[in-house]
A and B are shown apart, each in its own frame.
Chain A
Amino acid sequence: MTLMTLPYETQRDVELFLLREAKLLDTGEFEAWLALYAPHGIYWMPSKPGQTDPKGVASIIYEDYAILAIRVRRLLEARALVLTPMPRTTHLISNIEVTPGTDGEFAAEAAFMCIEHQGDQQRLYSGRHTHQLVRQNGSFRIALKRVELIDSDGTHSPMTIPI
């Protein structure tokens, strides 16, 4: 089992990092959330299960730090119509598996659920996500977060807060 090749402390550090990320999204601290990303870190939400090509195949989101920064400012911008009233979320992460990569990198795969509440409506998102993490100053930075919605190729309503 790959799980056993990592010291328990490292496994736990990665888990706590993922939980911190989820909490920052739930508490609306989007700038602090963005700061978890490496300078060229990428957030990828494919539009098809198992999608490997982010350029020739459309993605729901395929953004690096610079574009994510725009997205985050929009989340904090009072006039964003689709964010009025501001949605609230509960991000749940489970079944976390951490595997070591090269040069202090880690891959963390997990199942997620996200309940979004806005106005009088609730939406449920679920699926699996994978984080490619790099060590930085005793913590981690996200080099790549890939969010595979269970209904990535389905019919969607507008999405607002990242998952």
Chain B
Amino acid sequence: MTGTIDQPLSRSEIRTLVRPDHVHRRAYADPEVFALEQERIFGRLWLYVAHESQLRNPGDFVRTQLAQHEVLVTRHQDGKIYVLHNRCPHRGARLCMVDSGTSRLLTCPYHAWAFRPDGTLAAVPHPKSYPANFSLADPQNHMQRVRSVDSYHGFVFANLDDSAAPLTEHLGPMREVIDNLIERAPDGEIEIADSSFTLEYHGNWKLHMENANDIFHPSFVHSSSVAPARAAPANASILDQDQTREMLLANGFGPTDWEGIQLTGLAGGHTFMTSFYKKGVLVNEQQDPVMQRYRAALAGRIGSERAAAVLAMNRFNNIIYPNLIINAQQQQMRVTIPLAVDLTQVHVHCFRLKGAPEEMFHRAIRFLTTIGSPASMIFSDDVEMLERCQQGLVKQAGPWVNFERGLGNDRREGNGSIGGAASELPMRVQFEAWVNYLTQ
């Protein structure tokens, strides 16, 4: 790896990496910068870890990644959710080797220390051989807890910083997208699907977060799936009411289609995009009987006026800084997990709207497959570009990355800023926040 430096970066050095219109390649390629990000961004911000629908009953657990730590998210007998480092405090062994399950006790297979879902030590074999001052109640003998854990409408977040400001403060106005996702469910409740994808790419984590609200690239990057979709006959598939073809076609647009698309950036690095996928995922979504049944079910629960308002929130990717992407309209979610400066995992999920026709869930699954599968005709080309960026950015030649498109046309509004479809505003907003977090 080139670009490694000997001295840790000072705060003033970090500030020199980001200009209003450019960022230095070291932001993507320098392991020292990555270590600082782990400390000051992933070590201090609220990070999504699980959805409560995975933890319905005491003893339920999921294993996941919190920044660079492997953690277990558990539901304890008292109904509370805990986040525990997946490590036995006895000899340090990685404790749980499955992704999810239900267990009254988590027992280390090495010497059988057994832990409750809140991490406390329930029993050790042969207790009389321990010294008199050995205590099951001693926190040193417990699985290590991540102390800051909070939920927002079923979305469980954890924070490695014990003194972090409340979750709701970090989410800020981005709470709207979670609210909207819940409100779209006629029963007012959602469930995470028990199938998902994990993709890995050889590139920095920020590349994916920038790409998710970049509406300029699809015309170029996705042309190889747009063109065959255009050439293909309509309604030829027997499987999906043409949803796959429609989704491929949706990336085929140019300046005339940009009208109405808006990019919004908020304090803290959050961004979202409105009015992409105007038509939905089906050709005649308005006339579609499933949609009609769904709208009727929703209106039946919350009234037709409220239902219309809920469904009118027309946003595509909503990025909660630093690494969570929610698309309420299509019931989709992505979590970006940085593993190394040049290695990133993307976890791709979708949700079921409780009380909605089952076909709605099938469409969310179809969406997940079409846009998030490793064999996706869309995402694979994105990943290819992310990797090529990394391959270029590790080279010393030409240190600056340009993100000035739309710079003069963005306008401030309230606590944030707004740009048109062609703007690189989301990237500027993300890097403004990035510098702030790294220099705090």
> Which residues in A have some Cβ–Cβ distance to B below 8 Å?
40, 42, 45, 47-48, 55-67, 69-71, 73-74, 77-84, 154-160
Contact = CB atoms under 8 A, between A and B. Distances in A.
Contacts of A71: 228, 377
Nearest to B367: A58
Contact of B380 (A59, A67, A69, A159): A159
Contact of B239 (A56, A60, A64, A156): A64
Interface in B138-163: none
A158 B376 CA distance: 8
A57 B373 CA distance: 12
A66 B238 contact: yes
A80 B239 contact: no
A104 B200 CA distance: 43
Nearest to A45: B375
A158 B374 contact: yes
A155 B375 contact: no
B365 A56 contact: yes
Nearest to B347: A155
Contact of B198 (A62, A83, A155): A155
Given A58-B193, A58-B350, A81-B221, 11 more contacts: A56-B362, A57-B195, A60-B374, A61-B369, A64-B239, A65-B236, A73-B231, A74-B228, A80-B224, A81-B385, A157-B383
Secondary structure call for the A interface: mixed
Contacts of A154: 198
B198 A58 contact: no
B233 interface: yes
Contacts of B224: 74, 77-81, 83
A48 to B, nearest CB: 6
Contacts of A63: 237, 239, 244
Contacts of B193: 56-58
Nearest to A59: B369
A90 to B, nearest CB: 19
Contacts, number: 129
A84 B232 CA distance: 23
Given A62-B239, A77-B228, A82-B381, A155 B199 contact: yes
B262 interface: no
Interface of B: 193-201, 221, 223-225, 227-229, 231-233, 236-240, 244-245, 248, 345, 350, 358, 361-362, 365, 368-369, 372-377, 379-381, 383-385
Nearest to A71: B377
Nearest to A84: B384
A144 B244 CA distance: 19
Contacts of B194: 57
A82 B376 CA distance: 11
Contact of A40 (B238, B365, B373): B238
A66 B374 contact: no
A160 B380 contact: yes
Contacts of B368: 58
B375 A60 contact: yes
B198 A156 contact: yes
21 contacts: A56-B362, A57-B194, A58-B369, A59-B369, A60-B373, A61-B373, A63-B237, A65-B236, A66-B237, A66-B238, A67-B239, A67-B240, A70-B232, A70-B244, A70-B377, A71-B228, A79-B223, A156-B374, A158-B375, A158-B383, A159-B375
Nearest to A69: B232
B237 to A, nearest CB: 4
A128 B195 CA distance: 21
Contacts of B229: 70
Nearest to B240: A67
Contacts of A59: 369, 373
Nearest to B350: A58
